[in-house]
Structure 1
């Protein structure tokens, strides 16, 4: 747990250390807001971190979830039960799934299987509709002395917003500004790749969202996976170029039966080459160790996107 400019980074403990972050934003008079919250099994750890930050649970006024993927919003139900004064701020497309998470639970069980679901996601709870605020584009959350603006940033998901904190001129971006793990930092700065996980990846929307965020001239961007990055303009250019490269890899696969494996191979080669250019030691090993799971998920999302555009064309 680390605090910077009145924002405390909380490691949610999802799967491994320094994989998934939530952010505690400190307002005036001890009031606070929590942005993203990890999965349901992460909720006790997040609550312990709030306590360790010296923030009373009844002074958390807002819980904001950038989108309703389970590593960002799965813990919202248990946390709302433990934070009696909080209201939940969620994209209008995601609000129904927080009030009734049954479809999220069903989908997670289908994707992960019962054993993995029980280990990583069990314990999701509904949130009382009276405590849910649907945040349309531009919605301002009135944290005491520190308003937070929710800005639509689709591309990773249609139900995604990012949070602008004018006090620090920074974004809390969820997954809209890609993945940037601290293990891959070098003397050249942070290394970032897009996250194209299923099922709503859209390359043009993703690039537009990245450009929209960087157009504010942010001093920093806080990503969920993982931590704070600067050099935002350079990283935005890298991310946009890598979206195009990833799409080209997916489009270039002709063997339908081996499509997923070919996309995985193409993404791995792309990231290893980029890691080498970035000065990362032993790039092949580093990419496998740090990005292996994300490569699999990104390939799945690209496959879903290919199927969607083929269906749209009537192929």
Structure 2
């Protein structure tokens, strides 16, 4: 197991080894007076989080807050299990997401639809969060976790409607979950910084995502802390790439939407198109097949393709005509 990495003053990244992969999903420990964890990943990541805390000399009993940016299982699926190890902690969640942590049946059904037979291996057990152990935080509400450290919560839809981002006053950084896209640190050794939007079903909305990115830009943060994975100290590069790729994703999906005659075909054509666009970037950097990021990118592009086609189908139903 990899050791926690210090990213900034009193901020440590613990690798949750989500899906069995290194540098896929991380939990952030904020080592303030009220010890706080941001993101839990799925339940199989909880043992890795506990080992990470031990390596930092912290007992789970000391954790006061567990914050989840949104309730998708790769970010919050382990919250109930982690609470069992952290008896003095409360879960902080977007008000629209709280009921799904308390009763996760719909979350489970949605994830089963995407991951099929692999669901149990990747996500079980999913334990409900007790109703008296959660705190909802609405747009621009705050939480003081240290004498000089205040967290401010911002409603940031686009990836999901139950998504907030958390601004950290001391370091002027923001924890963006999936709204500012996905970082692929596996590619940095090859000299490539790649940030792709996360357009998974079923609440993806490109206009809301652009508005949320505009908000990050207006906050003028110095650091972005991703759910997947790690930190960037070049926010402008992140915004530029995610905006550019978001346009590409929607344009390519629109073509695939016209090309296919069923949801499955439209998703397959979208993934094919997106994979070709991403592969061209990798090829320019001399990154060949078999790279460590290949499997992760393939999974992400498949899930993103589902969300894009789901969005286009909804737009067609709303307007009564083609979304193209």
CA drift at 1:56: 2.3
Secondary structure at the residue paired with 2:61?
helix
Q: Which residue of 1 aligns with 2:74?
A: 71
1:88-107 matches, within 5 Å, as 88-107=91-110
Assess, with a 3 A threshold, how the Cα gap between structure 1 residues 140 and 283 changes in structure 2: closer, same or farther. farther
Q: Which residue of 2 aligns with 1:126?
A: 128
TM-score normalised over the length of structure 2: 0.91
Does the 8 Å contact 2:103/2:128 carry over to 1? Answer: yes
Q: Which residue of 1 aligns with 2:314?
A: 308
Q: Which residue of 2 aligns with 1:52?
A: 55
Q: Which residue of 2 aligns with 1:264?
A: 271
Q: Deviations over 1:124-171 (max 9, x none)?
A: 111111111111011212212221111111101111111111111111
Does the 8 Å contact 1:190/1:229 carry over to 2? Answer: no
Assess, with a 3 A threshold, how the Cα gap between structure 1 residues 179 and 96 changes in structure 2: closer, same or farther. same
Q: Which residue of 2 aligns with 1:116?
A: 118
Q: Deviations over 1:244-303 (max 9, x none)?
A: 1111111122222332222112111221233455xx322565463441111111111111
Assess, with a 3 A threshold, how the Cα gap between structure 1 residues 289 and 41 changes in structure 2: closer, same or farther. closer
1:1-315 matches, within 5 Å, as 1-4=4-7, 5-15=9-19, 16-28=21-33, 31-113=34-116, 115-145=117-147, 146-185=149-188, 190-253=193-256, 254-257=258-261, 258-276=265-283, 280-282=285-287, 286=291, 288-315=294-321
Q: Matched residues in 2 for 1:80 and 1:131: separation?
A: 9
Q: Matched residues in 2 for 1:296 and 1:252: separation?
A: 16
TM-score normalised over the length of structure 1: 0.93
Q: Deviations over 1:225-248 (max 9, x none)?
A: 111112111220111111111111
CA drift at 1:110: 3.4
Secondary structure at the residue paired with 1:312?
helix
CA drift at 1:189: 6.0
Alignment RMSD: 1.7
Moved over 6 A (4+): none
Q: Matched residues in 2 for 1:188 and 1:123: separation?
A: 38
Assess, with a 3 A threshold, how the Cα gap between structure 1 residues 232 and 45 changes in structure 2: closer, same or farther. same
